[in-house]
Amino acid sequence: MIEIEVKAHVDEPKQMERAVIALGASPIGIESQVDTYYNTPYRDFGETDEALRIRVQNGVSFLTYKGPKMDRVSKTRKEFQAGINDANTMGNILSSLGFFPVATVTKKRKNFRLGDFFISLDEVRNLGDFIEIEMSVKDSYNYEEKVESVFKLIEKLGISRESTIRSSYLEMVLEKKLTG
């Protein structure tokens, strides 16, 4: 599966939530997510632009791999995810294989659906408030058209294409650690 994603910082989350609903989006729930990201000494995911994480979401756990970004304008990537029974045991398995945790990202996420679009308003610990608009496609055939449709939607919300962010929350957390 390919996840097409565009993200931007939000100054007024309540105002953005009203704008999302005004476009016709339906609220579909609030989630609490804790993502622990891993790396390996054999291949630096920071250099290859990949990610491996364990996500605990409202008590349910997943292992997710994200491939490198596929273009220069969005966060579009191949993504594979599998449910796991025990996040701690999976962390121990990864550690036994040489993987090590590099950072944890904690967020509260309000989710909305608008047609094929999945919209999230995220409150990310130590980073602030963001909007993510996602769309999933099965393969890369004509995915550029779908990327463009996500940009058109974010522009309807008053966010310019130039103000979108290609960095992941992990990249932002690691950057913040470096700059103190």
* 37 assigned to active site: yes
Residue 101: C-alpha distances to residues 30, 67, 95, 130, 150 (Å): 26, 18, 8, 24, 32
CB 51 within 8 A of CB 170: yes
Grouping H, G, I as helix, E, B as strand and the rest as coil, residue 159 is coil
For residue 34, with 0-12 CB atoms within 10 Å meaning exposed, 13-18 middle and 19 or more buried, which class applies? middle
What is the set of active-site residues?
A: 37
